[in-house]
């Protein structure tokens, strides 16, 4: 059945088997009691009763909401669909069980500034700009400096600068 979150008013799917159980909105994180029918009033759980906590997805670094009852169990990132074990302590790291599909990221070519699209499978490996053909190492972290392996030819010059003088003068006459 479809019910409306009492906090952000988005419609969420709630199975009939969960009637009377605590639910949590995937969008805003508000807690509520699953009503008997889709037209019944949805009772919101006060924030003090809400299980709280967030961790960063170990693959795409998206913030993932977790509850205390799921510590040490399998979790899944809604953005990249990676599966991992939710750590029991803040000092522990999440163990990746399966890498999901990381949305393609973009970086600027270090030579010509053309936008180059990369995925998590390219991190730390060689990349190439489709525009200027420069080769570089795709950084593992967004703040890392991009290491250039081979500098290509920049193609962002005006066309007139590449034409011989005779051709430029003939084009100007036309």
- Note the pLDDT tens digit of each residue in 129-158: 988 999 999 887 777 889 999 998 765 544
Confidence of residue 173 (pLDDT cuts 50, 70, 90): low
Would you identify the CATH topology of the domain 2-49? Rubrerythrin, domain 2 (2.20.28)
Domain 105-150 in this protein, CATH class:
mainly beta
Long-range contacts, 152-158 (Cβ 8 Å, 24+):
152/111, 152/112, 154/111, 154/112, 155/112, 155/131, 156/112, 156/131, 156/132
The pLDDT of residue 49 is 42
| Residue closest to 34 by CA, chosen among 25, 48, 26 | 25
The pLDDT of residue 48 is 42
Domain ranges of the chain: 2-49, 56-98, 105-150
- Note the pLDDT tens digit of each residue in 77-128: 877 788 999 888 777 888 999 887 655 678 899 999 899 888 766 778 898 9
User: What is the C-alpha separation between 65 and 76, in angstroms, rounded?
Assistant: 10
> What pairs with residue 24 in β-bridges?
31
- Note the pLDDT tens digit of each residue in 25-84: 777 677 788 888 777 878 877 544 434 578 888 877 788 888 777 788 888 887 778 899
Query: 2-49 and 105-150 share one CATH topology?
Result: yes
| Pairing assessment for the beta strands 126-128 and 115-118 based on DSSP bridges | unpaired
Place of tokens 């949805």: 42
């Amino acid at each position: 059945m479809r019910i409306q979150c009492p906090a952000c008013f988005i419609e969420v799917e709630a199975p009939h088997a969960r009637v009377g159980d605590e639910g949590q909105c995937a969008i805003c994180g508000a807690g509520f009691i699953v009503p008997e029918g889709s037209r019944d009033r949805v009772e919101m759980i006060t924030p003090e009763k809400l299980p709280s906590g967030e961790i960063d997805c170990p693959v795409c670094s998206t913030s993932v909401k977790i509850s205390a009852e799921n510590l040490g169990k399998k979790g899944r990132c809604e953005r990249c669909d990676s599966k991992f074990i939710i750590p029991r302590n803040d000092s522990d790291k999440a163990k990746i069980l399966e890498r999901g599909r990381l949305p393609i990221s973009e970086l600027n070519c270090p030579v010509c500034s053309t936008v180059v699209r990369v995925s998590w499978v390219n991190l730390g490996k060689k990349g190439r700009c489709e525009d200027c053909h420069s080769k570089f190492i795709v950084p593992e972290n967004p703040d890392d400096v991009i290491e250039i392996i081979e500098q290509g030819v920049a193609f962002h010059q005006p066309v007139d600068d590449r034409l011989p003088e005779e051709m430029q003068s003939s084009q100007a006459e036309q």
